Structure 1
């Protein structure tokens, strides 16, 4: 079965949608996902998605649920369709008919500091090591690492400029002295290899004119984790989770971490308090302050 919205070379509707996403500086990955998800509705309808009715959307979501589509995937489709109906076809009444489902958020996988060091040391070349070091050392999303340019490294202000963050937002990420040293080493090696240019990508792909892909970064992380004998299920976002958790455990204010991560809402950052085990271990229980058991005394069952 084909996707009417996707298969047409360039229909006016598709172009309008792409223009709306470009105007808001959506990342390439987000645009690809939105086109795919709107294509799902077009496939269901068997006609152009801008002709959908409220009943069509209701039946579409019921069918998704009955087919066992995971809740996060269903919610991602809702986001794409809400954007489409609100901005591209100016039918906000339909956007309000789409139901977003609640689901328990799983605790993120977090590496210990030792595991992060082992993973970075298990990479097979300097470019891969530096790319993963940026993901952890600056807390960047995988797409943000991929889209960094050499000019985004601001060594005077010790910042990394993230021009295409989530939702197309611009922000500054931290640049530590050790990370800058590593980046300078990669700059020298990359120049010698002929793949690094002042106006080029910080991490070029197989073709120097294109950035490294998010898929390749994912593969690099997985292979490094296996080589480092890390049994946890690891992906590029694991390094971002670990960055935030380690900062929280070191006592960094959660609102500062929110800014560093580029989170729009504080509750997104506060989620890391659930995995900051070092923070929990450093807290003294009020029970211990009762003084019921003094050092040297026998335990109750002794």
Structure 2
């Protein structure tokens, strides 16, 4: 029986093709995992039919089921749509237009905002490097993912600035570095550098570099300036390259620390890591800063997104005297 030639490669499985195209387009690993999950769910929803044999009606049926039967949020439904459209456009080369599914309801809830005293009470309850991360969420207006992905070269201690690279929407921006964290941050970096030197001595010390920089600059992944500001506690295998590396702290660790601190501080609000970014923007607005400046610091594409914090300030009739008070 004739055997296949070793030079003949079997075509890659569909989900492997998705991963390959996403990596060629420099998508984040978390986005890759999310898109693959949604594509898998889409295929399973239609009894494992191949997407090339399906089209607009099947996409609409899947999205409608998410909205009607599973009652997902609008952002979740949009995420699923983006993943499926990526599959068709980028991987299969099929154009899909005119999607007309039942849309999930878009909530119009105002963001939860802490008072300054509440924010500081929570922060003081958190220990270790997790506390420093949360200080940057509140003091610099960073998203959690942005804080954890910071590299040494992104900190300008002299100018008291943080450079956020490849943020949401693949945008770069500059925000402030609070003066109150400078000494603590410098002490933290001394320990990070010592750990990096130890890793190098053990034959490790490399980090993931974005946009194929690792192939262009062969030894850059071991340079100090490319190391994470908040490195993980242990070295693990990179899921993409298979190389043993020290990644940054995982989001779940910060999220658990914040949840526990909120409980210990006795704050009766639904607080998450993003609450500190909301509080950053609202407190700047309260202090009289121009909304366009706040928009730039937050990295919002449209000032309408930033305007939501003006509604937070007006919540509860603030500025209006109640008739009960005479």
Shorter-chain TM range is 0.7 to 0.9
Does residue 108 of structure 1 match 2:145? no
Q: CA deviation at 1:301?
A: 11
Corresponding residue for residue 83 of structure 2? 80
- DSSP 3-state at the match of 2:27: coil
Distance 1:181 1:300 in 2: 50
Corresponding residue for residue 231 of structure 2? 204
Does residue 215 of structure 1 match 2:252? yes
Does residue 124 of structure 1 match 2:161? no
Stretches of structure 2 that go unaligned for 5 or more consecutive residues are 1-10, 200-223, 236-245
Corresponding residue for residue 5 of structure 1? none
* TM-score (normalised: structure 1): 0.80
CA deviations on 1:160-212 (whole Å, 9 max, x unpaired) are 12223113332222223223333113223445667896542111122161110
Distance 1:99 1:160 in 2: 42
Distance 1:134 1:280 in 2: 31
Contact between 1:249 and 1:277, CA under 8 Å: does it hold in 2?
no
CA RMSD of aligned residues (A): 3.2
* TM-score (normalised: structure 2): 0.75
Question: Structure 1 pair 48/172, CA: closer, same or farther in 2 (3 Å)?
Answer: farther
Contact between 1:27 and 1:164, CA under 8 Å: does it hold in 2?
no
Q: Which moved more, 1:258-267 or 1:47-56?
A: 47-56
Q: CA deviation at 1:118?
A: 0.6
Does residue 268 of structure 1 match 2:305? yes
- DSSP 3-state at the match of 1:263: coil
- DSSP 3-state at the match of 2:71: coil
Corresponding residue for residue 8 of structure 2? none
Q: Which moved more, 1:195-204 or 1:54-63?
A: 195-204
Corresponding residue for residue 294 of structure 1? none
Q: CA deviation at 1:116?
A: 0.8
Q: Which moved more, 1:218-227 or 1:155-164?
A: 155-164
Contact between 1:25 and 1:164, CA under 8 Å: does it hold in 2?
no
Does residue 40 of structure 1 match 2:41? yes
Corresponding residue for residue 244 of structure 1? 281
Contact between 2:138 and 2:276, CA under 8 Å: does it hold in 1?
yes
Distance 2:43 2:257 in 1: 35
Distance 1:11 1:149 in 2: 35
CA deviations on 1:236-256 (whole Å, 9 max, x unpaired) are 101111111111111111111
- DSSP 3-state at the match of 1:93: coil
Distance 1:185 1:269 in 2: 34
Kindly report which structure 2 residues correspond to 1:128-277, keeping only aligned pairs within 5 A, or say none: 128-191=130-193, 199-207=226-234, 209-277=246-314
Question: Structure 1 pair 300/200, CA: closer, same or farther in 2 (3 Å)?
Answer: closer
Kindly tell me the number of residue pairs found equivalent between the two proteins: 280
Corresponding residue for residue 67 of structure 1? 69
Contact between 1:143 and 1:214, CA under 8 Å: does it hold in 2?
yes
Distance 1:54 1:152 in 2: 43
Stretches of structure 1 that go unaligned for 5 or more consecutive residues are 1-9, 288-298
Distance 1:300 1:93 in 2: 58
- DSSP 3-state at the match of 1:227: helix
